[in-house]
Structure 1
Amino acid sequence: MSTRSAVVTGASSGIGAATARKLAEMGYHVYVGARRLDRLHRLADEIGGTAVELDVTSAESVQSFADAIDGVDVLVNNAGGAKGLAAVADTDVDDWRWMWETNVLGTLRVTKTLLPELIASGDGLIVTVTSIAALTPYDYGAGYTSAKHAQGVLHRTLRGELLGKPVRLTEIAPGAVETEFSLVRFDGDAERAAKVYAGIDPLVAEDIADVIGFVASRPKHVNLDQIVVKPRDQADAGRFARRG
């Protein structure tokens, strides 16, 4: 039996890197894609996978990535992120453009390009990592929540359009996960990023990777449509039980 292959985007850190490790432990050959090649190569060496440079905002980069891989059974759309936390009246349009290009159009480019391979595998799986921001808006986060809503709708629409095809689709919607996410959102302001998780026990990247591993281990007739994962200390996007 040939080794099954997985593709993980945004794999240079956080949830993507943890997911690549988890899938490799499960016996997949993992193709890891991101822009930071130095990190990718270290990860690929660690897990026995293959590092391929990938910028999901570039159609040419996505096609080059697809040309470099040898089939795919599991696709994990993890590349994405947030920039800024501003009222709509004060928002930076370039921040919105980056979030939509990365979260929405990036997911579209990768999924559309790899879909024929996923169908041809006979048992394909598409996992899209959205956010609880894909389910409810919150003040000062319209750029990110709108992008994540759109990414979620893209994924959920595919669920119907691929009905009858040998492809399963699972949306993972995490709450507060302590990764580099907030550091990117706040342009490297470590103090501001730390306040996001202050007084709570947030999720870590491995928590989400474990869920993705569970999804990938289900038999082919089982489709886990949507999984919302939050820390115990979080009720919704803006409501936490903080200590101290």
Structure 2
Amino acid sequence: MVTGGAQGIGLAVAERLAAGGAKAVLWDLDAELVAAAAERLGCEGRAVDVTDAEAVETAAADLVKDHGRVDALVASAGLAGPNAPLHDYGLDDWRRIMKVNVDGVFHCCRAVLPYMRKANFGRIVTIASVAGKEGNPGASAYSASKAAVIGMTKSMGKENADLDIAVNSVTPAAARTRIFDQMSQEHIDYMLSKIPRGRFLEVDEAASMIAWLCTAENSFSTGAVFDLSGGRATY
């Protein structure tokens, strides 16, 4: 299952998984977009608000009822939010970003882990950001939310290491997706200036690594953070 699966990195991951023979199930808040994406990929799509814990629990239960198990979760749904210094940051904007980026990941992982633990198999990949490691100016809420995702992932990796469950995070540099619509041009230019490769990440490049982390071949790495930063983060 791929959250935020109707667009951006999530859609690219779903395409990669489906091409490899997986039965991809797309979750996205945008009902029309997820329906169109699912039809194009020939897979299942569902409108799910990841901030709604009950809705997530129900959707996960329905998935297992229909397919028998859930092998992998890619938690890609997220918001960038507006750009402003912390002392000017709107309270509603801050809370919305935390609700989607942190609570949304928590809800989805909490919903699928019991099924994975029962089956003694599972792969979870959370989509964080290099901003969660370095902190981007003008993006305190986004940076803090992604740092929380990294910490959450490390905890889950340790908690489930006794079973064949791998929980890892990827920290991409910026990719030119619809999330850019939420950012100022100044902030976009800043992000590009920090990438030694001199270009933004391509979603297919991200999908390649994320899809591998979802496979049985990834049998040892867990609680780890994999950079996709074009040389920006080297630690």
TM over 0.5: yes
Any conservation in 1 of the 2:60–2:112 contact (CA below 8 Å)?
yes
Tell me by how many angstroms 1:197 deviates: 7.0
Q: Report if the CA contact (8 A) 2:129-2:171 is conserved.
A: yes
CA distance in structure 1 between the aligned counterparts of 2:33 and 2:26, rounded to whole angstroms: 10
Opposite residue 177 of structure 1, the aligned amino acid is A
Provide runs of 4+ in structure 1 moved above 3 Å.
191-200
In the TM superposition, residue 194 of structure 1 has moved relative to its aligned partner by 6.4
User: Match of 1:53?
Assistant: 47
Larger displacement relative to structure 2 (138-147 or 50-59): 138-147
CA contact (8 A) 2:18 2:24 kept: yes
2:198 is equivalent to residue 204 of structure 1: no
User: TM-score scaled by structure 2?
Assistant: 0.88
Deviations 1:29-86 (A, max 9, x none): 0110011121212221222211111101112221231132122000001111211111
| 2:63 maps to which of 58, 69, 92 | 69
The residue that corresponds to 1:162 in the other structure is: 160
Normalised by the length of structure 1, the TM-score is: 0.85
Matches within 5 A, 1:106-185: 106-185=104-183
**How far has the Cα of 1:153 moved from its partner?**
0.6
Aligned residue pair count: 224
Amino acid at match of 1:229: L
Give the 3-state SS of the residue equivalent to 2:162 in structure 1: coil
Give per-residue Cα distances to partners, 1:160-209, cap 9 Å, x unaligned: 111202211111100121111121345xxxx6686567784211211111
Change in Cα spacing, 1:137 to 1:195, as seen in structure 2 (3 Å) is closer
Q: Does 1:31 align with 2:22?
A: no
Identify the residue that residue 231 of structure 1 maps to in structure 2: 230
Letter in 1 for 2:107: R
Task: Work out the percentage of aligned pairs sharing the same amino acid.
Answer: 24
Which AA in structure 2 matches 1:227? F
Report if aligned partners of 1:176, 1:231 keep a CA contact under 8 Å in 2.
Answer: no
Alignment correspondent of 1:17: 11
SS of match in other structure, 2:56: helix
- RMSD after superposition: 2.0
CA shift for structure 1 position 123: 2.2
Amino acid at match of 1:111: C
Matches of 2:78 and 2:188, distance apart in 1: 20
Distance 1:212 1:144 in 2: 21
Give the direction of change, closer, same or farther, for the CA distance of 1:194–1:171 in structure 2 (3 Å limit).
closer
2:90 corresponds in structure 1 to: 92
Name the SS of the counterpart of 2:74 in structure 1.
Answer: strand
Paired residue secondary structure (1:168): strand
Looking at secondary structure, tell me which structure has more helix per residue.
Answer: 2
Name 1:239's counterpart in structure 2: none
Q: Secondary structure in 2 aligned to 1:148? A: helix
Alpha-carbon distance between aligned partners in 1 of 2:63 and 2:124, rounded to the nearest angstrom: 16
SS of 1:228's partner is strand
In 2, the alpha carbon distance for the partners of 1:149 and 1:195 equals 22
Which residue identity lines up with residue 63 of structure 1 in the other structure?
Answer: E
2:3–2:10 Cα contact (<8 Å) kept: yes
Amino acid at match of 1:154: M
Judged with a 3 Å threshold, the aligned counterparts in structure 2 of structure 1 residues 197 and 108 are, in CA distance, closer, same or farther, namely closer
